């Protein structure tokens, strides 16, 4: 697993944990993940979680609009965490990767951690946001 992929996985797990507990410490305390990860992965994960959290209201608004106002309570918490990180990377980073790479990474993480068909929902939302942003 690459440095950035590992960082994205940790960021998704941290945002999932935050979504379940509402404990802000979940976004910066990666002791549970640090044993097997490269320092660069942890730094990348920290940057993603802090950035995502700082833009969370706007990110959630974008996800809600792209999901055609689907009730947030109906979106699986894992899918929401994956979407939040990917939307942050696509729309808020100063030098984002191409959307295709971000979407592919999000789909792979969704396939690993979410329900069998959830990756299709994640792909659809991110593809729609990418097209709307012209990326």
Q: What pLDDT is stored for residue 15 in this prediction? A: 92
> Which pLDDT belongs to residue 25?
73
How far is 103 from 96, CA to CA, in rounded Å? 12
Topology adopted by domain 3-133? N-utilizing Substance Protein B Homolog; Chain A (1.10.940)
Contacts 24+ apart (CB under 8 A), 112-115: 112/9, 113/9, 113/12, 113/13, 113/78, 113/82, 114/76, 114/78, 114/79, 114/82, 115/76
Per-residue pLDDT tens for 40-88?
988 999 999 999 999 999 999 999 999 986 787 889 999 999 999 999 9
At 3 the pLDDT is 87
| Predicted local confidence at residue 47, as pLDDT | 94
**pLDDT recorded at residue 72:** 79
pLDDT one-digit tens code per residue, 2-53: 889 999 999 999 999 888 888 777 777 766 665 677 889 889 999 999 999 9
Q: Return the pLDDT at 134.
A: 75
Cβ–Cβ < 8 Å for 79, 122: yes
Segment 84-100 shows an average pLDDT of: 92
């Amino acid at each position: 697993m690459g440095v950035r992929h590992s960082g994205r996985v940790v960021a998704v797990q941290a945002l999932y944990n935050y979504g379940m507990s509402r404990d802000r410490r979940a976004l910066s305390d990666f002791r549970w993940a640090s044993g097997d990860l490269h320092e660069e992965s942890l730094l990348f994960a920290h940057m993603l979680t802090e950035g995502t959290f700082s833009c969370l209201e706007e990110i959630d608004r974008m996800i809600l609009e792209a999901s055609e106002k689907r009730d947030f309570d109906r979106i699986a918490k894992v899918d929401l965490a994956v979407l939040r990180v990917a939307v942050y990377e696509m729309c808020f980073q100063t030098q984002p990767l191409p959307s295709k790479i971000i979407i592919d990474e999000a789909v792979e993480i969704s396939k690993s951690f979410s329900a069998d068909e959830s990756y299709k929902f994640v792909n659809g939302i991110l593809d729609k946001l990418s097209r709307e942003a012209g990326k």
